[in-house]
């Protein structure tokens, strides 16, 4: 079992805190409006799902697909990953793993 880093602070983000996403114009990412609650921080790409068996496949497809072999891929794969509870949204996304490089741009 992978140790949880739920009570640690990394890169100015704290588990349990709420964060508001920037707009698409500000960051280039289209995240639903609202506040996101940070639930977990993991060192490296998570190896076990938290709420849904598909969440790791979705994270890999969303954030890593197409980057294989690049420096960005290595950075994201080995960097911190953040598990956020999403605000109510039309895309029906409840939770998602997001790499630190994206978190730093979006929040």
**50-92 residue pLDDT tens:** 998 899 999 999 999 999 999 999 999 999 999 999 999 998 9
State the pTM of this model. 0.85
Distance (Å, whole) CA 96 – CA 107: 14
The fraction of the chain above a pLDDT of 70, given in percent, is 90
For the chain, the domains span 9-106
Neighbours of 27 (CB within 10 A): 15
Cβ–Cβ < 8 Å for 4, 81: no
Cβ–Cβ < 8 Å for 44, 23: no
Query: Tell me, what's the pLDDT at 12?
Result: 87
C-alpha dihedral over 24, 16, 52, 57, to 10 degrees?
A: 50
Neighbours of 62 (CB within 10 A): 13
């Amino acid at each position: 079992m992978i140790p949880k880093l739920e009570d640690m602070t990394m890169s100015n983000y704290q588990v349990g805190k709420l964060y508001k996403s920037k707009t698409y114009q500000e960051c280039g990412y289209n995240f639903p409006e609202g506040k996101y609650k940070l639930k977990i921080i993991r060192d490296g790409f998570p190896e076990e799902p938290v709420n849904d068996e598909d969440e790791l496949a979705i994270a890999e497809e969303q954030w890593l697909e197409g980057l294989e072999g690049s420096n960005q891929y290595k950075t994201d794969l080995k960097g911190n990953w953040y598990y956020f509870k999403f605000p109510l949204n039309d895309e029906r996304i409840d939770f998602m793993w997001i790499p630190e490089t994206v978190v730093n741009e979006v929040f």
